[in-house]
Chain A
């Protein structure tokens, strides 16, 4: 069965620090990968997505993620976080042609001003 694993459950950073959130998935076929963000009290919004092509994808608000097929990973990065990045971050995967998006358990990021 497909699964998504996010290694960090809680991350606390100071403003301007660099961020990397880990995500690994288990599925042998072709996958589509996503990162969603949920700001406090809000719904989930898409940060970025990968379907094919350049494994380094750029999303909104300065976020990027790198797909490493050999490691089944899709880590999220941001060079310099801001206080407004405080949120819950979810990695998600679907397989091509599938209707089901599987989410990781989420990583709660708190950025200290």
Chain B
């Protein structure tokens, strides 16, 4: 009965490869996010989708492409991976129809290591 689940948990790959991370939430939330947490634990928002519509697209390289097939899913595809992409990527969801009051529910994270 995991609320926000993302796969894989660990991802080790070489520079130049393309990889995807998947996220699913069963909370019925209307908004999903991708956050990147660097080695110093700093959390930065990357993307946000509300009802499958992209509403936040921070200054992220266009090698990163999110896709939301429906409200419950938000995947992240990364092309041409670089060393600097190594980080923990967190998926999160919230109910934004509450007007910003809804806290974020996070997945367990995907630790991406690019060698």
Contacts and interface: CB of A to CB of B under 8 A. Distances in A.
A96 B104 contact: no
Interface string B95-115: 010011101101111000000
B55 A99 contact: yes
A97 B99 contact: yes
A88 B45 contact: no
Given A42-B108, A99-B31, A94 B90 contact: no
Nearest to A51: B101
Interface in B25-41: 31, 33, 40-41
A44 B43 CA distance: 10
Contacts of B100: 32, 94-99
Give the contact-size bracket for chain A: 20 to 34
A72 B111 CA distance: 34
Contacts of B104: 34, 36, 44, 46, 92, 101
A106 to B, nearest CB: 5
B41 A96 contact: no
Shortest 10 CB-CB contacts between residues of A and residues of B:
A43-B106, A103-B43, A94-B100, A46-B103, A44-B106, A106-B41, A96-B100, A98-B100, A43-B108, A51-B101
